[in-house]
Every structure is written in C-alpha cells, then in structure tokens.
Structure 1
C-alpha cells in the first residue's frame, strides 16, 4: 500500500501501489499540461468519500511501499484518462480497480 499526500495537509490516502502507479501516470500527465481537475476517493473505512481540487500549483506526493514499479494496464490508464477529460478522476482509495465516476 502506497500513499497519496495532497498539499502536505490531512491524513495520507492509503492506496494500493498498482492503483497509485496508474493514478500517478494520469495525474502527472494532466499537471504537465497545466490542467486542473477534481480527484475523489472512497474512505477506507467505508464511511464516506473525499474530493480535492488538483491544480499544478498545489503539492502532490506519491509514496510507494514497493521499490519496483508495477506493470501498467493500458485499458486502466485509458479509463482514468477519460475520467480526467470529464474533469473528475474517481478511485477506490481502498485498493483495487478505480470506480467509474457517475455520469
């Protein structure tokens, strides 16, 4: 399990390393393009969800427990990228395949 740390505040979001690697690829691509978007996840205890506004000027850190990067799934990346085009990327926050954002 890795961690997503947003702007140095709050509790780090624990995320499966493989899921975090996919998120990192899509998020960093959007930030390189100076694109802002919403990022949402379910709380690991099943009690609610959180959303943050991701902007190129706000610090974001990806911490991985596994020193070796996982293999990325092109279909998973495409689904996340499609959500990013719509302005909101949603993931489980509890490990596993990202949830699709409601249309």
Structure 2
C-alpha cells in the first residue's frame, strides 16, 4: 500500500501502489496545465465517513509514496478515465481499473 500525503498538515490516505501510480499520472497532468480540481473517493466501510473530497491545487504540497520500488505498467484507459472525471462538478474520482477494451481484444 502506498500513501498520498497532502497539505502542510500532512493529511494521508493509503492507496494501493497500482492505483496510486495511475492517480499520480492524472494529477500531475492536471497540475502541469495549472488546472485545480477536486479529488473525491469513497471511504472504506467502518470508518464512519461516506466520502472525502480534497481540493488539489499546485500551491499545496503533494507527495506520492510507494511501498514497492517498481513502477506499475500503465493502463492508459484508466488514466484517461481519471482525467475525464476531473472535469466534472464532482471532481476526479478514484474509479476501479477498467478491464481490457473488447474492441482491442477482438482485433488481436
């Protein structure tokens, strides 16, 4: 499990390394374009919370910490999906990784 560390108060959330890697790619793409956005996710059952929302802005410290040393292979469709959700009123949502595209699988 990796960790997303956000803000000067060091707010942290644990996210598995593969999800964190894709989240990093999407977040960095938005921030490089100087685009702020909301990041939202459902809290785990039993935490007493329903969901959490962070405002992601280039001026707020942000760190991605990985438990493993190897970079995950990139699922471009997942990064694209994360980026697409960032442009909604709800903001970027941590979504499950999409499966293989049936059109791509049929073409091989």
Q: Same fold (TM over 0.5)?
A: yes
* Distance in 1 of aligned mates of 2:41 and 2:5: 13
* Distance in 1 of aligned mates of 2:31 and 2:74: 19
Q: Specify the SS of the correspondent of 1:52.
A: strand
**C-alpha deviation, 1:11, in angstroms:** 4.4
CA offsets 1:29-79 (integer angstroms, 9 cap, x no match):
111111000001122335321101101100111000010010010111111
Match for 1:56 among 40, 58, 68? 58
Are 2:35 and 1:35 equivalent residues in the alignment? yes
Give the equivalent residue in structure 1 for 2:13. Answer: 13
RMSD between aligned alpha carbons?
1.7
Structure index of larger Rg? 2
* Distance in 2 of aligned mates of 1:66 and 1:25: 17
Q: Specify the SS of the correspondent of 1:12.
A: strand
Are 2:90 and 1:75 equivalent residues in the alignment? no
Q: Which 5+ residue runs of structure 2 have no aligned equivalent?
A: 98-108
